[in-house]
Amino acid sequence: MGLYSHFLVLCLFSVSSVTCQVTEFISIDCGGTSNYTDPITGLAWISDNGTIMKYGKSSEAQISNGNMQYQRRRDFPIDSNKYCYTLGTKERRRYLVRATFQYGSLENEDAYPKFDLYLDTTKWSTVVVLEAARVYVKEMIIRAPSSSIDVCICCATTGSPFISSLELRPLNLSMYATDFEDDFFLEVAARVNFGALSKDVIRYPDDPYDRIWDSDLAKRQNYLVGVAPGTVRINTSKHVDTRTREYPPVKVMQTAVVGTKGMLSYRLNLEDFPANARAFAYFAEIQDLGGNETRKFKLQQPYSPDYSNAVVNIAENANGSYTLYEPSYMNVSLDFILSFSFVKTRDSTLGPLINAIEISKYLKIEQKTDSKDVTVLNALRSLSAESASANEQGDPCVPAHWEWVNCTSTTPPRITKIALSGKNLKGEIPPEINSLEQLTELWLDGNFLTGSFPAISNLLNLKIVHLENNKLNGPLPKYLGSLPELQELYIQNNFFSGKVPSELLAGKVIFNYEHNPGLHKEAGKKMRLRLIVGISIGTIAGLLVVVIGSLLFLRNLKRKTSHQKNEVQGLYTQTPLSYLHVASQVFVHFSSALEFVR
């Protein structure tokens, strides 16, 4: 952190602050064909072609407001997938994230695109294009929840989803801190520069953080209407000290509006409201007040006892003219239509003054898919570098699940299905798979997986397991037979060995285990009986050979001792060799009987 602050200070005091900020900012021209430096801002823009975004196609905008980044856009396929840009962040650092959308094409179709924008798994906004020439700007202020964020586009209801640009701007330490930042992002709803000198926005390099300050001269529906009579625009070329917490640009503070008839009022629509909001008002006295002049006023609307009773005396509150006073409403409930007005107090000689406002909506951060589950999916992806499954972006489950997984709809989401049949996976099934407690289906068949049977003893919801046509080896774990939900287990064409747990053969589970040369059934009750019979027959046969052999031996002995007894033993008139033959024949017969029993 120390290193970084040092770096920032260096930037601010060096002449080449532009090139310095370029390394800190990420500016992606979506659909752009080349990298370039923006002549207006001096910022370096990079094209998303290929390395940053592999999907969609670059389209030319027929109408464009002159800025390079709006000349082309990236159109994504109309399908059920999400398309995500991954931006590197520093965990717990605050950033401004901005996505812009200028469609630019006059469609013959009856509807312009309408689709959803997500930041990680949090729904940011629905982008609704109503005018081809308008640039729709979506800004979010976040404290980075991890070392990267995903900005995803999905779920088109009309037209094809698209994006024009994507920007990431780190903020200074004090800026936009709230008590709620662990659980909420801040979606910027309005940031208005009053008394602006032109219709143009103010941004970098006037704002070193590249916030976009809209001009109050810009014309669009329901934007700053209901202006009180007697509202006058004022400006100064004197420096305004803005070094407090939020650092609004000096240029924004050098202009203001004054209610010369004692009142200032405005009305504007706040997109995605009603909601709880963080509202900032930026005041700086930029008129030289005479000795007998005072400027004191109160917030009249929306009425809130805490703020409406407080008297604003800018110069006093800010401890001097040309100095920023930035009262804030850290959590205020606002409607879709925001009407606000300031009125001067009776004893004030001058009417109210305002330089700028900023209103952001608190947006609850949605949980990402269980991190243990994501670890497993990443380990599985690493088994197949080239297949499409390795390219899936963003969160596995939200807003749309990856093609090869399915998920629960719980928070956090959990993985229920893995479908990687025939995806060229090589290597061993990661042991972490045992932490996918909600898994019901595991399809890893038709790959080149090696190693032993995966550890799945904790997967009590598992119903269907397909591991056939791999190169897995070793024994089958005993607990397989007692997985409570198991319905289907296919392990044929592998190199498993040892005994099959007998429960798997009980008929409850559809179990295919053919062509595993080393695998055999466990010695159950029935088998033992067969074995005993087999052994007995074998023993008898062996005994017979011995008996006949001994008889033969005895006979020869008798022959030697008593030649006369030869005739008595009429039965055995043949040669000794033929006796042996008979004995072995008997043995062969019994052996095949044994084989038959088996």
- Kindly list the residues in this chain that would bind ligand NAG in the complex (CB under 6 A): 12, 33-35, 46-47, 49-51, 54, 57-58, 172-174, 180, 184, 197, 208, 233, 235, 247, 276, 290, 292, 319-320, 331, 349, 362, 406, 417
Pick the closer one to ligand NAG by CB: 35 or 378. Answer: 35
How many Å apart are CA 29 and CA 73, to the nearest integer?
A: 8
CB of 278 to ligand NAG, least distance (A): 8
Q: Which amino acid belongs to residue 509?
A: V
CB of 31 to ligand NAG, least distance (A): 7
How many Å apart are CA 505 and CA 79, to the nearest integer?
A: 43
Sheet holding 114-119, edge to edge: 83-88, 148-158, 114-119, 122-128
Q: Which residues have CB under 8 Å from 120's CB, separation 6+?
A: 145, 149, 150, 152, 365, 366, 368, 394, 395
Residue nearest ligand NAG, CB atom distance: 276
How many Å apart are CA 140 and CA 98, to the nearest integer?
A: 6
CB of 360 to ligand NAG, least distance (A): 11
CB of 49 to ligand NAG, least distance (A): 4
Pick the closer one to ligand NAG by CB: 406 or 461. Answer: 406
Pick the closer one to ligand NAG by CB: 186 or 537. Answer: 186
CB of 369 to ligand NAG, least distance (A): 14
Q: Which residues have CB under 8 Å from 6's CB, separation 6+?
A: none
CB of 514 to ligand NAG, least distance (A): 27
Pick the closer one to ligand NAG by CB: 12 or 532. Answer: 12
Question: Which among 148, 135, 72, 63 has a CA at the least distance from the CA of 99?
Answer: 135
CB of 442 to ligand NAG, least distance (A): 13
Pick the closer one to ligand NAG by CB: 33 or 126. Answer: 33
* Cα atoms in the Cβ-side hemisphere of radius 13 Å centred on 590: 19
Pick the closer one to ligand NAG by CB: 89 or 493. Answer: 89
Give the residue ranges of DSSP H helices in 14-119.
17-24
Cβ atoms of 509 and 486 within 8 Å: the answer is yes
CB of 101 to ligand NAG, least distance (A): 17
Pick the closer one to ligand NAG by CB: 354 or 480. Answer: 354
* Cα atoms in the Cβ-side hemisphere of radius 13 Å centred on 237: 0
Residue ranges of E strands in 76-146? 83-88, 94-101, 114-119, 122-128, 136-143
Pick the closer one to ligand NAG by CB: 197 or 545. Answer: 197
Cβ atoms of 452 and 474 within 8 Å: the answer is yes
Question: Which among 111, 112, 140 has a CA at the least distance from the CA of 125?
Answer: 140
How many Å apart are CA 292 and CA 264, to the nearest integer?
A: 22
Pick the closer one to ligand NAG by CB: 7 or 479. Answer: 7
CB of 179 to ligand NAG, least distance (A): 8
CB of 511 to ligand NAG, least distance (A): 23
Tokens of 425: 């996976």
Cβ atoms of 329 and 304 within 8 Å: the answer is yes
Pick the closer one to ligand NAG by CB: 17 or 435. Answer: 17
* Cα atoms in the Cβ-side hemisphere of radius 13 Å centred on 399: 24
For residue 108, give the H/E element and its range.
none
Sheet holding 57-60, edge to edge: 57-60, 72-75, 162-163
Pick the closer one to ligand NAG by CB: 185 or 511. Answer: 185
Cβ atoms of 83 and 57 within 8 Å: the answer is no
Pick the closer one to ligand NAG by CB: 274 or 320. Answer: 320
CB of 594 to ligand NAG, least distance (A): 51
Pick the closer one to ligand NAG by CB: 174 or 482. Answer: 174
CB of 325 to ligand NAG, least distance (A): 12
Sheet holding 231-235, edge to edge: 231-235, 255-259, 353-354
CB of 5 to ligand NAG, least distance (A): 7
Pick the closer one to ligand NAG by CB: 147 or 319. Answer: 319
CB of 518 to ligand NAG, least distance (A): 34
Angle at 257 between CA 255 and CA 262, to 5 degrees: 150
Buried b (16+ CB within 10 A) or exposed e, 470-509: bebeeebeeebbebeebeebbbbbbebeeebbebbeeeeb
Q: Which amino acid belongs to residue 310?
A: A
Computed on alpha carbons and rounded to an integer, the radius of gyration of the chain in Å comes to 40
